[in-house]
Amino acid sequence: MKVHVANHPLIAHKLTVLRDERTDSPTFRRLVEELVTLLAYEATREIRTHTVELTTPVTRTKGLKMAEPRPVVVPILRAGLGMLEGMSKLMPNAEVGFLGMVRDEKTLKASTYANRLPEDLSGRHVFVLDPMLATGGTLIAAFHYLLDLGATEITAICILSAPEGVKAMENEFSGSKVPINIVTGALDEKLNEHGYIVPGLGDAGDRLYGVV
């Protein structure tokens, strides 16, 4: 499993504003969108391409285009939805699927309550959008779901991650034949007793959309 922690002053700056409890929802949403576009740039670095020939106004040349089948972007509802716009900006021709997952606040176990995905993901690189990699429960359940559908490569894009969650993912997927990657804006200190990332940014869904 590959883990990439962003190391860029612009990402650090945006994360600092995002973490601040005084940052309001509209600003929070905009920053998440911007951060995802920056993280997606890194996450798509090894995306499959093929060579094409073309004519510029000056000469014949060769270039690269994204290979078929197209990648699939899967935001995990609800908070992952706030990341979709930023990802779509970078990769507008990707297909988009949805996975609704919720974690029980007592047991911290994740379960699926909705899904809208292609039936067969073979040959597809799936990009999973989930802002907070906390215990890893949600992403582990989501990744198994996608692997069962035949995904050929899976990359999670997370705004923040906790070491506990990254370790849980490593334990679960270190022997996976399918490449598994995590791209995250920062690796925080720890999880608290409620399963929140410390220092973190609080509940990402609530900060994006307000408390319901």
Residues that bind ligand URA (CB under 6 A): 79, 132, 134, 195-197, 200, 203-205
User: Phi then psi for 37, rounded to 5 degrees?
Assistant: -60, -40
Per-residue burial over 33-72, b = 16 or more CB atoms within 10 Å of its CB, e = otherwise: bbbbbbbbebbbeebeeeeeeeeeeeeeeeeeebeebebb
Of 156 and 204, CB closest to ligand URA: 204
Please state the closest distance from residue 118 (CB atom) to ligand URA, in A: 27
In the complex, minimum distance from the CB of residue 189 to ligand URA, in angstroms, rounded to a whole number? 12
Nearer to ligand URA, 1 or 108 (CB): 108
Residue 188 buriedness (CB in 10 A; 0-12 / 13-18 / 19+): buried
Rounded-to-integer distance, Cα 110 and Cα 113, Å: 10
CB of 150 to ligand URA, least distance (A): 28
Closest CA relative to residue 131, chosen from 199, 173, 184? 184
- Min dist CB 190 to ligand URA, Å, is 11
Q: Is the CB of 79 or the CB of 180 nearer to ligand URA?
A: 79
CB nearer to ligand URA: give 19 or 48.
19
Nearest to ligand URA of 83, 204 (CB atom): 204
Start-to-end CA distance of the chain, whole Å, equals 36
Question: Of 94 and 134, which has the nearer Cβ to ligand URA?
Answer: 134
Distance CA(97)–CA(170), nearest Å, equals 25
Q: Which residues contact 53 (CB under 8 A, 6 or more apart)?
A: 60, 61, 62, 63
CA dihedral 29, 31, 36, 42 (to 10 degrees): 180
Whole-number minimum distance, CB 4 to ligand URA, in Å?
20
The minimum distance between CB 8 and ligand URA, in angstroms, equals: 22
